Amino acid sequence: MKPVNVGLIGCGNISGTYFKNGAVFNSITIVACADIVRERAEASAEQYSVPKVCTVEELLADPDIEIVLNLTIPKAHAPLGIAALEAGKNLHTEKPLAVTREDGKRMVRLAKEKGVLLGAAPDTFMGAGLQTCRKLIDDGWIGEPVAATAFMQCHGHEHWHPDPDFFYQPGGGPMFDMGPYYITALVTLMGPVTRVSGLTSAAFSDRLITSEQHYGEIIKVNTATHVAGTMRFSNGAIATMVMSFDVWGHHLPCLEIHGTEGSLSVPDPNCFGGVVQVCRPRTREWETVPLTHQYADNARGIGPADMACALRTGRRHRANEALAYHVLDVMHAFQDSNDKGTHVTIESTCERPAPLPMNPAPGEIDG
């Protein structure tokens, strides 16, 4: 299969992993990069041997680029994404798909009108850890899922991230920053969400930056930093979820799924590998299950690589627009529920993406 040419926009903190993994997957080649700070794009191009540095406008106009990879901050996902789709480019964007439902719907509609593919991170559900969990559930190891828990709690990113301000603005916060990993994992393992109940708060109105680049600056918090609630899934299962930037420490698990025939300990959905364990009635003990799939290391970029395979073969890409919009819709529902004082029915839906094959050749997706 001829590799698909990819143009990368946004050479910030996360881009290095994508640049490195662009050389790992056989279905893609990163041929150009752009950034609002041109020097940053030039440095990335030199470090990762990218042939072309250009402006965003030049990248979108390049007829040789088939997929645009948008790694900008959340508030730029929709404007740049819409521009890419308008230019007739296939688009894979970092999470979330957009900040607002309205922009997300517009992007989905535009992709359909233009006849191009649209997808979004996270693609961690395609890693060895979550694919092993998917196989265990599909093979009936825990019976029918009936309940789940999802916990991500820390004290924010201002102590380590070089540019942490956007984490505390609309489109940020723990739900929009980390929620996509957890909700995407649960949806791909159990199916779509039908109802949400939520409560939100922000314990600190200001955040002091102690990371080096902006040390001593104050961030005004303009989004919820603690989100708690429940989700009902189409299969009837109920998940309890807490996403927080207001917690100093905890002993809670990342993800657990409990079924009629056992329980499943799911590894951190922000990672590709991790430890998978099951507890079943026969022993009542947690047993570690060997990973059944490839890509246990940091494989960010597998989403665009999977999209490239879909582009060449005509099959459905896994980190697709329906999944990405459904996750966006569910995340908003937590705040909507808090504001309205009632549960929220989820209007969107999606299908579980197809599982990955167990033993593809190195650098391959489809085997």
Residue 360 near residue 333 (C-beta atoms within 8 A): no
Given pLDDT bands bounded at 50, 70 and 90, which one contains residue 13? Answer: confident
Dihedral of alpha carbons 207, 210, 213, 217, sign: positive
Q: What is the mean pLDDT of residues 236-260?
A: 97
pLDDT at res. 177: 94
Write out the residue limits of the CATH 3.30.360.10 domain(s) in the chain.
125-289
CATH number belonging to domain 4-124+299-320: 3.40.50.720
CATH number belonging to domain 125-289: 3.30.360.10
pLDDT tens figures, 115-170: 999 999 999 999 999 999 999 999 999 999 999 999 999 999 999 998 889 899 98
pLDDT at res. 116: 98
Tell me which residue of 108, 139, 93, 167 sits closest to 329, measured CA to CA: 108
Among all chains, which residue has been given the structure tokens 């709690």? 153
Residue 130 near residue 185 (C-beta atoms within 8 A): yes
Tell me which residue of 228, 14, 3, 31 sits closest to 121, measured CA to CA: 14
Q: What are φ and ψ of residue 199, in 5° steps? A: -130, 145
Mapping DSSP to helix (H, G, I), strand (E, B) and coil, where does residue 324 land?
Answer: helix
Given pLDDT bands bounded at 50, 70 and 90, which one contains residue 283? Answer: confident
- How far is residue 32's CA from residue 69's CA, in Å, rounded to a whole number? 10
- Say whether pLDDT at 357 is over 90: yes
Task: DSSP for 167-196, please give it.
Answer: GGSTT-HHHHHHHHHHHHHHHHHH--EEEE
Dihedral of alpha carbons 247, 250, 255, 259, sign: negative
pLDDT at res. 363: 93
Strand order in the sheet with 28-34: 52-53, 28-34, 4-9, 67-70, 90-93, 118-120
Q: What is the mean pLDDT of residues 346-364?
A: 95
- How far is residue 191's CA from residue 195's CA, in Å, rounded to a whole number? 13
- Say whether pLDDT at 367 is over 80: no
Residues 6+ apart with CB under 8 A from 139: none
Write out the two tokens for 160: 């380590």
Write out the residue limits of the CATH 3.40.50.720 domain(s) in the chain.
4-124+299-320
50-54: long-range contacts, CB 8 A cutoff, minimum separation 24:
50/8, 50/19
pLDDT tens figures, 77-114: 999 999 999 999 999 999 999 999 999 999 999 999 99
- How far is residue 182's CA from residue 220's CA, in Å, rounded to a whole number? 26
- Say whether pLDDT at 217 is over 90: no
Q: Which amino acid is at 125?
A: F
- Say whether pLDDT at 227 is over 90: yes
pLDDT at res. 1: 81
pLDDT tens figures, 19-49: 999 999 999 999 999 999 999 999 999 999 9
- How far is residue 83's CA from residue 63's CA, in Å, rounded to a whole number? 15
Q: What share of the chain is helix, strand, coil (3-state, %, to 5)?
A: 35, 25, 45
- Say whether pLDDT at 7 is over 90: yes
Q: Which helix or strand (DSSP H or E) is residue 311 part of?
A: helix 302-313
- How far is residue 127's CA from residue 298's CA, in Å, rounded to a whole number? 8
Share of the chain above pLDDT 70, in %: 100
pLDDT tens figures, 306-336: 999 999 999 999 999 999 999 999 999 999 9
Using a 10 angstrom Cβ sphere, with 0-12 exposed, 13-18 middle and 19 or more buried, the burial of residue 204 is middle
pLDDT at res. 3: 96
